[in-house]
Structure 1
Amino acid sequence: MPFLSTGDLLILTGIALGTWFVHGYIKERRENPNNLPLPPGPKGYPIIGSYFSFPKYKAWLEYDKWFKIYGDIIYFKVFGKGFLILGSLERVYDIFERRSSNYSDRPRLVMLNEMMGWDYTFGFQQYGPWWRRHRRHFHDHFHPNAVNKYHAIQIDSTRAFVRDLLESPEKFRYHIRYAFADSILKTLYGMDARENESYIGHTETTFAGLAEAGHPGSFLVDMFPVMKRIPDWFPGAEWKRKAKVWRDINSIVANSLWDRVKEQMKAGTAKPCIATAMLEDLLDDDSPESKEEETVRRSTCANGFIGGADTTVSSVTSFFMAMAIYPDVQKKAQAELDRVLGSRLPEINDRSSLPYISALLKESERWQPIAPLGIAHMSSNADDYDGYYIPKGTFVLGNAWSLLHDPKFYKEPSIFNPDRFLKDGELDPSVRDPSVASFGFGRRICPGRFFADASFFLTVAHVLKVYDIKPTLDENGKEKEIRPEMTDGLIIYPEAFECRIVPRSEEAKQLIQNSILDT
């Protein structure tokens, strides 16, 4: 082949891009015979689309600003990939509920699934039979009636948590993560967190990768999958080397504890748990069907740990931050706990008698939603919606943050105020429940929400019963200001902050120390 000059390469590149552009235009006209307009959105340019407008940091806040300009449905393209952002409950319900058959798929997540190995997680799997098999197994063990049998484990881990806070309150973030890892490890694998410190460390690393790569478009390979072929040694391919590290650790998270339970079952030392229940009726005939079924069950357990050990951690950490910032809210909650419980620690059945605590939990979900944009859905086919054309393959995101900070429904939404959910001392059913957005949408709603909700209640009720949470003091004895700033990512957490966690009284201290006797 003769040598091509720079000019020749530019001409060939222009022809290729022009052909790609024309092909896309013809395809869109064919799928949109009524020539409907696309939803409104920021200005785009040929080839790159709205790349320069595409939010790179805390996108949910930028999209919230866009809703005030373009309305509650926004569309834009970046390098040929279409994005549809929904900013009201009406839009979310129309798309994810009424048209769920077309909007329950996931986009091709090249960096996350294909390069980092998150494809074992059914939250990221494409909609279809493989996803259904995982979801069905998970539902069997985490539906509302099933989670009741795990309450004893959750109480045990929660009371260990309040004891750990007494010994080293400054390590409260570590203790929060450890407590939720402990309860879900015992539930899924019959194992104690203290015996699996390295495993918990691996999951923290995988979560860091998830935060970085969780949103489509975070890495250019999501837009240009051909970049997968770039060699690891190539200059600028640091992203590919990072993906390999994350993939290796993901493999450990997905497989290691399941394999250990199998060994324990052979030795007769395994404790009853979800993994043993899944293994007991699994045929061990080395057939392709049995291997495939084991893969599904193995991945389902790993899914449970990933969800249970991380998402509620964000909610509880935000709760600690809110209590330090809003002492009046804390006092109201403590007064209710004292009135209802007297001198004992809470149990799961106390919840119906604690409306202010229930309102506080709702406000915690609303105030700082753990996944403000959730995981992207994808349109399986082109769609005509409300006079707009939605192309096939569009990435669709519901902005949970906007839904839960809409001043039409939540007065002064930036303020942490559980009273907004109460009327005459009881929960007010007329107030929008944060669950409409806090656990995802439609058929892809989080199936572990019932387990997470019980853990959240037990943690909040125990902590407020026995502790005061206060800001730290400066050198002059004045309380330091805490600003409610959150990290960026698919799942967000409060930025680093310090607080004082002290027993409310000597009686409370005795309750903490004696809590092991009550489990």
Structure 2
Amino acid sequence: MAMAESPGSTSTSRAKVVLDWWCRHSKACIHGTHMPSGKTNMAGDVVYIYAFMNSIVVLNSIEAISDLLEKRSGNYSSRPVRTMVQELMGWDWLFSSMPYGNRWKVKSSLSLRCVLCADEKHQRHRNLFQKHFPINGTSEHHPLQINQTHALLRDLEHSPAEFSHHIRRTAAANVLDITYGIHIDEKIGENGDDYVKLATSAILPFSRAGIFGTYMVDYIPALKYLPLWCAPFRRKAKEWRKPAQALVNRPFEVVQTKMENGTATPCIVAHELDDIALGRGTADLQVVKNVAATTFAAGADTVVSALQSLFLAVALYPNVQDKAQKELDRVIGNRLPVFSDRYQLPYIDCICYELLRWNPVTPLGLAHYVSENDEYRGYIIPKGTTVFPNVWAILHDPELYPDPFAFNPDRFEDNVTAQGPSASGVNEIPNAAFGFGRRMCPGRWFAFDFLWISVASILSVYRITDATNVNGHPIDLTGELYSSTILSHPLPFKCQIEPRSPTAKTLIEETNMEA
């Protein structure tokens, strides 16, 4: 497998971006681009890498991604088994990483009587998730999302310097309440509530180890059998396994205990456990536990990155904040925004889309797996190849998004106000941020709703500017701004966050009556 024979400069730069990124952040050596057919090419929108008997393809254009992950989704919808993360670190419950298709079976550890195809296993998890987060049914969660956003506004007034932590608390509180019926106190210290710390302690190692090839055991799975004394990666995995297992078990057990005591509050887990007890549920206990934990893990981290980026972006581009606040003042006046305002606030939509494009949460996407041999552009893609959609390259392609490194929500105005996609194909809504084909994020509507109400509410009452040093000069926010892990977040930075006016301060304080 290789890329096109005569790539242009844009394709070459895209390939260079992903190869430079890969080589910086993979601990393993990359053994060139040897093709099974003997052909080699290092540039283009389809890059082939051969590393330790592993075939890897990186897709750097929306055309290649559409051709393979969308139009041939049946062959590209599975996930590779990542030995470090799934087997050693204990993240095998994360249904977004479960295989899809017939390439392996999940068998009972006691007998062969229970045989479940991987595609059926994944689909059962996805069906349960979509039951509670349907395409057109996320509005039932709007009251909670508004309440949690108002709690965030109060937190920002109380301790603005801890804005990054407050965002994490709000995101975790949102999904904990919906999924487990667990309410966490907003008035928490710098290190956070136990559940916030639990999510962080589990997700940070996952984010670091989640890039395929970071640990050699991903290339050579047999290394997992090395004794602990000579395998530092196994010792790390053993330690990191503890919070990953606590994430899936601890909140679930809280719900079970409350149900036994008759004190459980309505939530997804309680609803499903009731159905199982009454014999009307279609999901078993383990599926419920897995889906709940996946919801917690994803909801507690992915939107966090976009909201952290908001503070960085408007500090760097104050004109964006000015335009948003003029729109908010014109539409909502002296109150806080609600979801019914959305169609009158198109620029807030534009900001949300630009946050997802400017720094996608998963820059290299989530890996796909080729279930059967395939042919593309005259080259063979072998069965078992790991395929990465280079989301970052696509969303920073100057042909699709002019001046791609600038934070410019205006680029989406025509698409947001139009009834359909842009005829020019330029500045399309960045759906690539949510994945591709059959593995597109099933919670994207819920996540976008939460992002939208948070952005609208924050900008309606707060002014965000550069922080200043001891001499009163603005602190430079340029340079390397984001982490280089599978889940990308802004590196720690400072900014000033102040209520826009006495009226804004009053609106923030009045939300206390809701708490």
TM-score by length of 1: 0.85
Distance 1:499 1:152, change over 3 A: same
Any conservation in 2 of the 1:362–1:433 contact (CA below 8 Å)?
Answer: no
Distance change >3 Å, CA 215–CA 477, structure 1 → 2: same
**Are 1:70 and 2:64 an aligned pair?**
no
Q: Match of 1:258?
A: 252
The match for 2:77 is 104
Distance 1:38 1:334, change over 3 A: closer
1:493 alignment partner in structure 2 = 489
> Which structure's relative contact order is higher, taking Cα pairs within 8 Å and 6+ residues apart?
1
1:57-89 deviations in Å (ceiling 9; x for gaps): 368xxx9xx9x9611111120011001111111
- The Cα offsets for residues 261-285 of structure 1, whole Å up to 9 and x where unpaired, read as 1111121111101111111110489
- Preserved contact between residue 39 and residue 389 of structure 1 (Cα < 8 Å): no
Q: Does structure 2 retain, via aligned residues, the 8 Å contact 1:40–1:75?
A: no
Query: Which residue number in structure 1 is paired with residue 501 of structure 2?
Result: 505
Determine if the alignment matches structure 1 residue 303 to structure 2 residue 294: yes
Aligned partner of 2:355 among 364, 367, 376: 364
CA shift, 1:434, in A, is: 3.9
Q: Distance in 1 between matches of 2:136 and 2:249?
A: 28
Cα separation, 1, equivalents of 2:333 and 2:308: 26
Aligned-partner SS, 2:400: coil
Which runs of 5 or more structure 2 residues have no equivalent in the other structure? 6-18, 34-40, 101-118, 187-191
| Cα displacement (A) at 1:38 | 4.3
Specify which of 473, 478, 497 is matched with residue 473 of structure 2: 478
Contact 1:40/1:74, CA 8 A, preserved across alignment = no
Q: Identity of paired residues, percent?
A: 39
Taking the aligned partners of 2:257 and 2:48, their CA distance within structure 1 comes to 52
Give yes or no for the alignment of 1:246 onto 2:219: no
Q: Which moved more, 1:260-269 or 1:420-429?
A: 420-429
> 1:194 maps to what in 2?
185
Q: Would the alpha carbon gap of residues 429 and 517 (structure 1) be closer, same or farther in structure 2, given more than 3 Å must change?
A: farther
Task: State the distance in 2 between where 1:263 and 1:418 align.
Answer: 47
The equivalent residue for 2:97 is 124
Tell me which residue corresponds to 1:22: none
Q: Residue 201 and residue 118 in structure 1: after superposition, are their counterparts in 2 closer, same or farther (change >3 A)? A: same
Does the 8 Å CA contact 2:395/2:430 hold for their aligned counterparts? no
Q: 1:512 to 1:225 in 2, by over 3 A?
A: same
Partner of 1:418: 409
Q: Quote how far apart the aligned CAs of 1:146 are.
A: 2.5
Q: Work out which of the residue numbers 221, 224, 228 in structure 1 matches 2:220.
A: 224
Q: Secondary structure at the match of 1:381?
A: coil
Give the CA deviation at 1:291. 12
Residues 300 and 101 (structure 1 numbering): CA distance in 2 closer, same or farther, change over 3 Å? same
- The residue aligned with 1:272 is 266
Whether the 8 Å CA contact 1:214–1:375 is kept in 2: the answer is: no
The alignment of Structure 1 onto Structure 2 pairs a total of residues equal to 462
Corresponding position of 2:60:
87
| Distance change (3 Å), C-alpha of 1:126 and 1:424 | closer
Residues 194, 515 of structure 1: alpha-carbon distance in 2 compared, 3 angstrom cutoff: closer
Choose which of 390, 395, 401 in structure 1 pairs with 2:392: 401
Between stretches 487-496 and 468-477, larger displacement belongs to 468-477
Whole-angstrom distance in 2 between the partners of 1:469 and 1:69: 44
Between the aligned partners of 1:134 and 1:264, the Cα distance in structure 2 is 24
Residues 404 and 434 of structure 1 are in contact (CA less than 8 Å); yes or no, is this contact kept in structure 2? no
1:54/1:156 CA distance change after superposition, 3 Å: closer
What secondary structure, in the 3-state scheme, does the structure 2 residue paired with 1:321 have? Answer: helix
Asked which structure has the greater CA Rg, the reply is: 1
* Residues 429, 38 of structure 1: alpha-carbon distance in 2 compared, 3 angstrom cutoff: closer
Q: Within 2, Cα distance between the matches of 1:466 and 1:219?
A: 45
Partners of 2:2 and 2:313 in 1: CA distance:
41
Residue 249 of structure 1, CA deviation? 1.4
* Structure 1 residue identity aligned to 2:235: R
Q: Which amino acid aligns with 1:446?
A: C
Q: State the match for 1:214 in structure 2.
A: 210
- Does the 8 Å contact 2:25/2:214 carry over to 1? no
Q: Aligned-pair distance for 1:148?
A: 1.0
Say which SS state the counterpart of residue 396 (structure 1) adopts: strand
**CA deviation string 1:328-354 (max 9, x = no partner):** 110100010000001000001111100
Q: CA deviation at 1:149?
A: 0.7
Superposed displacement of residue 426, structure 1: 3.6
Q: Which amino acid aligns with 2:43?
A: Y
Amino acid at match of 1:152: P
User: SS state of the match for residue 464, structure 2?
Assistant: strand
Matched, 1:55 2:51: no
Post-superposition shift, 1:518? Answer: 5.4
Change (3 A) 1:424 1:437: closer
Q: Deviations over 1:186-240 (max 9, x none)?
A: 1111111239922221211111111111111110001111111111122xx2211
- CA separation in 2, counterparts of 1:330 and 1:363? 13
Assess if the C-alpha contact under 8 Å between 2:89 and 2:244 holds in 1: yes
Q: 1:476 Cα deviation (Å)? A: 2.6
Distance 1:375 1:423 in 2: 30
> What is the RMSD of the two structures over their aligned residues, measured on CA atoms?
2.4
* Whole-Å separation in 2 of the counterparts to 1:178 and 1:202: 11
Query: How far did 1:517 drift?
Result: 2.9
Report the alpha carbon displacement of residue 247 of structure 1 after superposing the two structures with TM. 1.2
Moved more, 207-216 or 68-77: 68-77
TM-score (norm: length of structure 2): 0.86
Q: Secondary structure at the match of 1:123?
A: helix
Cα 1:434–1:246, aligned 2, differ >3 Å: closer, same or farther? farther
Report the counterpart of residue 456 of structure 1 in structure 2: 451
What letter is aligned with 2:234?
K
1:25 is aligned to none
**1:359-398 map, 5 Å:** 359-398=350-389
Rounded to whole Å, the distance in 2 between the matches of 1:185 and 1:424 is 34
The verdict on how the C-alpha distance between 1:292 and 1:513 changes in structure 2, with shifts beyond 3 A counting, is: closer
Greater mean alpha carbon deviation, residues 189-198 or residues 294-303 = 189-198
8 Å contact from structure 1 (residues 117, 251) kept in 2: yes
